[in-house]
Structure 1
Amino acid sequence: MGKHAELTKTKRSGSRTAAGRWKLEDAKARFSEVVRHAHEDGPQRVTVRGQDAVVVMSVEEFERLAPEKPRPPFLEFMEGLHLGALDLTREADHGRDVEL
């Protein structure tokens, strides 16, 4: 992107910097714009007191960076809880006396 296009982009987006940084108060006030830029231009940084705090990114970018871990089969999951020492016996239930 040329310098002129970068300056135009910065002017158009107001307080958003060319590097995709937003002050927290601006990001809150213009959240839909932050989201749109995240989809179109890539991750957007949000700053608090001048320090990077969080990044807003598209779900596609997030999934690329943090692929979903495969889930273990249910039986393997339950065995992994190590519940063998847990006493699950219960007292016999003989009902209750009810006056009719």
Structure 2
Amino acid sequence: MRPSAHDDRIWTVAGAKAKLSEVIERAQSVPQTITRNGKPSVVVVSAEEWQRKTARKGSLAEFLMDSPLRGAGLDLDRERDEPRDLPL
């Protein structure tokens, strides 16, 4: 998505520095993108949104048990080859 020149969610680095309080305030309700050299560089989101996006959703065991590949009959036996000699 190419940002439009008048999109109020897109900031240049200079603009974000000059109006950091406003960037933070707006990020409470909608992510704010900061561009560098005309390209999106970072996105500022609220702490609540960050926590929601990064929260662990169950354990690894639960993830594996819920896998659509569970029971697919995959052969996961490890090869028992001898270690190879590496030059020193």
Q: Which TM-score band (shorter chain)?
A: 0.5 to 0.7
Q: Does structure 1 residue 65 correspond to structure 2 residue 35?
A: no
Correspondence for 2:22 among 8, 12, 33: 33
Displacement of 1:19 in angstroms is 5.3
Higher helix share: 1
The gaps in structure 2 that reach 5 residues or longer are: 59-88
Aligned to 2:34: 46
| Structure number with higher relative contact order (C-alpha < 8 Å, ≥ 6 residues apart) | 2
Displacement of 1:17 in angstroms is 3.6
> CA–CA distance in 2 between the matches of 1:30 and 1:18?
15
Aligned to 1:55: 43
1:77-96 correspondence runs (5 A):
none
The AA in structure 2 aligned to 1:27 is A
Aligned length: 54
How high is the sequence identity, in percent, across the aligned residues?
A: 37
**CA deviation string 1:50-93 (max 9, x = no partner):** 000001110011011101589xxxxxxxxxxxxxxxxxxxxxxx
